[in-house]
Amino acid sequence: MNIGQLIKLERQRQNMKQEYLASGICVPSYLSRIENGLVIPSEDVQQHLLKRLNIPSYALNTTGNEEKLLYFKNLFKSVINSRDKEKAKTLYHDLHVYIEDHPFEPNRLTLLVMETRLMLMLPDYTKEVQSNLAILEEFKKEMSTDQLFYLSTIQGIIAYQDNEFRQASEIFLQIFSLIKSYRMEDWEMAELYYISSLAFLSESRYILAIDYVKSALSYFNQEILIERSIECLVILGIAQKNTGVLKDAIASYEKAREISSKIESAKFKGMIEQNIGACYSLLKESDLALFHFKSSLQANSDPNKNVISILSILKEHHKNNDISNALIWLNSGLEILDKLSESNRDFYSNHFTVYKVLLLNDPNSITTFKQVLDYFEGKQEFKYCSIYCYVLAKKLAKEKQYKQATIYYQKGFNYHIKQSKVSSWEELS
């Protein structure tokens, strides 16, 4: 990076306007030309700009500390592989201090993308992430392939965290195109495969998710990164379950459970048991499904996780027309709502409301269902809109309200179209 680019980067990092930095030194248009590398500032202008940026003049003589960069890169690799938040916090602090102390470090962009990636692992850094991204975007043309790799990865992760799954998937696919003729390190590729599989899974692109998570799993197994391997097996199982290969999905979950047992970790037990239960439910092996759902419930102490199992048990009993047990678990679900986070409380309250209507024969069922549908539509949870339209239509048809039933069958199909992200029914085939 040349002197102008380094001045621009530091000015933006300090959130300083061009007009302020240039005031009394040069006109803003001349500063702009300096920052864009069109002119080299005189010694006098240069010193005044540095003074206003509170940068000592000797900083100009900084040469790239490759040994320090390698040190940070090795720690960064360890943090990304382990996903250890405490290590991430420590490394972020060390990086931030180094960047502050070395404003004209030639490897500044690489350090900045690493700092920004670490921020995504830590809570309460949203503003700082956006500030860093705005700076990095300004320097995209000057970036190397590996810097672009990390910047795009950060943007993909943010899109995923914002539930913009299609956007995230497209970003990750663009990264694969970017590095087609460039050799990234194995650990970097494993992380890309892993986060890409999550995006594809969320977008219901299960075959791609399976391919990518298997690639990540291969690396994590090789490096004996046990918890990462377990996470990959869970993702693999979910994708297999959603493609209908239920026995393969159960095998993936059981492998994850076996590994967890060997390292005596209870961290994943609840999640694994919940997913095995879901597979047995689809296989219509209700007793096994209920056994695993209850095992999941016993493994978790967090109400926000327990509510998933409670709803699954309620669904299973209702599916079997076991009304008395369904009512027991409905009450368990309603009782746990006050212990949930606000977003989860609203989400599960609406699910339990549907079963309350069905089990207690609520005379205002249409009004109640409309409220539930409005909630899920507002959250763009079109899958649940489609399901509950079908449930309401079936209930209305049973009550011989055929006109209303037809309306909700049609609405359900329209929600299915939205969920499938197609513009017409022909694209469903």
pLDDT number for residue 61: 64
What region, left, alpha or beta, does residue 7 occupy, with left being phi > 0 and alpha being psi -120 to 50 degrees? alpha
Contact present, 185 and 218 (Cβ < 8 Å): no
Grade residue 151 by pLDDT with cuts at 50, 70 and 90: very high
Mean pLDDT of the chain: 92
As a whole number of angstroms, the distance between CA 228 and CA 220 comes to 6
Each residue's pLDDT tens digit, 305-351: 999 999 999 999 999 999 999 999 999 999 999 999 998 999 999 99
pLDDT of residue 204 exceeding 90: no
Band (106; pLDDT cuts 50, 70, 90): confident
Share of the chain above pLDDT 70, in %: 97
What percentage of the chain has pLDDT greater than the value 90? 71
pLDDT category of residue 353 using cuts at 50, 70 and 90: very high
Q: How far apart are CA 45 and CA 68, in angstroms?
A: 31
Q: How far apart are CA 318 and CA 326, in angstroms?
A: 6
Amino acid 424: pLDDT: 67
What Cα–Cα distance (Å) separates residue 211 from each residue in 10, 54, 180, 196?
A: 42, 51, 17, 10
Pair of tokens at residue 409 = 């069958």
More confident residue, 423 or 389: 389
Do 365 and 350 form a contact (C-beta atoms < 8 A)? no
pLDDT of amino acid 57: 73
Question: Nearest Cα to 95, choosing from 77, 81, 116?
Answer: 116
Check: CB of residue 349 under 8 Å from CB of residue 356.
no
Q: Look at residue 263 and tell me whether its pLDDT is greater than 70.
A: yes
pLDDT digits (tens, 9 = 90+) for 23-47: 998 999 999 998 888 888 888 888 8
Q: Which residue has the tokens 């790239």?
A: 64
pLDDT band with cut points at 50, 70 and 90 for residue 60: low
Nearest partner of 56 among 24, 10, 96, 19, judged by Cα? 10
Whether the per-residue pLDDT at 427 is higher than 70: the answer is no
Q: Which CA distances in Å does 151 have to 71, 130, 349, 389?
A: 20, 12, 39, 42
